[in-house]
Structure 1
Amino acid sequence: MLSRLGWTVRRPDGSAFSNEEVARACRESTGESFSATYLWQLRTGRRDNPTKRHLEALAAFFQTPVAYFFDDADSPQITQELALLAALRDAGVRDVALRAVNLSPDGLGTVRDLIDAIARREAERRRPGS
């Protein structure tokens, strides 16, 4: 879950936070030992029993409820919400979303169809041999 969270929650420019950045922020918020190596071990599953304070610090850093780490039933929904928030941090996505607010249901359908068509075309271009 931590690895997925690290891929979902990113800087406004879309780049990922380094293990050192996250570990430093967690050290500063808890006052406890929290190294980049320890975070890497948690992300890769080599360590799997973080303390409550570490999980609280990680949840605070990634701006997600601490329940994300405990409640398997809620984790997929929280991940979707985090992905949406991450997308809305992108100025271009936010601009499109704000413009779409006043469209009719038919207009929104047209926008969705256009986005789907563009996404399919771009996926085809990325395929090897295309």
Structure 2
Amino acid sequence: MPDDASVTSSLAAKIEWLIQNRWPAGSRLPKNNVEAAAAISEATGEDLSSTTIWKLRTGRSDNPQLKTLKGLSTFFGVPIGYFGDDDEAEETADRVAASSLVGESGLNREALRALVELSDGGRQLVADFIISAARLEQGREKAGEA
């Protein structure tokens, strides 16, 4: 998952993050914008073109119609505030990230409760470990691209 700054930095980054991280379970990721637009349109009834999806994903459009945002919000199961550029967007991105983890990666409610019950020092240790592990994986991914 990208760091918080990249998730909330632009509408294009937010939409790309949703496609990569919140695509409906059991469905394969779209290979292109045509597939993405078709899946979103079919699921929501909102007619989105592949050109609209392309413009949004590439940042060529950063002021979509409200009906487009409502369709994306419905499809990805996020509040429409996620697409804003204020504090609500960052908070929503955090909630979206947390809800994506629960049940999908072995991080269950029991683990979350245990985390809450840790001391401040224990929670900080866990947070430091998670950040270190993410940086390690990002470094491996970049090394594989070279």
Q: CA RMSD in A?
A: 3.8
Specify the alignment match of 2:4 in structure 1: none
Specify the alignment match of 1:98 in structure 2: 110
Identity %: 27
Unaligned runs of 5+ in 2: 1-10
In the TM superposition, 1:1-130 aligns within 5 A as: 1=11, 2-12=15-25, 16-18=29-31, 19-28=33-42, 29-32=44-47, 34-94=48-108, 97-99=109-111, 101=113, 105=118, 109=122, 112-113=125-126, 116=129, 119-120=132-133, 123=136, 126=140, 128=143
Q: Which amino acid aligns with 2:61?
A: R
Tell me the TM-score normalised to structure 2 length: 0.60
Q: Deviations over 1:18-71 (max 9, x none)?
A: 534431233232353x22232021111112332211110001011111122235
Figure out how many residues of one structure are paired with residues of the other and give that number: 124
Structure 1 residue 7, shift from structure 2 partner: 3.5
Q: Which amino acid aligns with 2:20?
A: W
Aligned counterparts of 1:60 and 1:36: Cα–Cα separation in 2: 18
Q: Which has the larger radius of gyration?
A: 1
Structure 1 residue 9, shift from structure 2 partner: 1.8
